Structure 1
């Protein structure tokens, strides 16, 4: 079985899309970075190194220092699929991030986005 194409896409190529999405709604890049660090456990320097290295999405999540245990609280629909129903681990992590970015863009308070 072949991997979904998104797995081999570099995180650096989707990151500007996340930033643009939230900026159109009045949010800022630093909030996107905060959400990504919360989800993955990367420090800002480690995260920026992943961008520089053009790390693919599969590797980005596989090498995440500490996936946040509270990410299991992320519920809802992304691209017509409930994130909590996604069985494949890498795809679920990608959709968790998509959902967090959607919530940020919709104006949710950062405390709610980060499940605090």
Structure 2
């Protein structure tokens, strides 16, 4: 028998989504059940919280798009691409010389929201 653990009936609130995310990430972790400390724990917690937010959003606010999982895969890959682009930007910018900028020439970009 197969079940989908990411269904609305299994995820009634954010704490259930968080528990599901932690379980999924723990099962994918190659390091086993070792407790990590310091910055590694920070990044592990950040990944769990981000995945919990995605699960909770899809289950409660976008259930139609979640039925086949395609949109979830799209959002996760989008998040990965964004993280990789930021990492590349940081790496590339660290090799460049800082440029001076004239703040008086910059115009604020205000957009009206409907």
What TM-score do you get using the length of structure 1 for normalisation?
0.29
Higher-Rg structure is 2
Query: TM-score, length-normalised on structure 2?
Result: 0.29
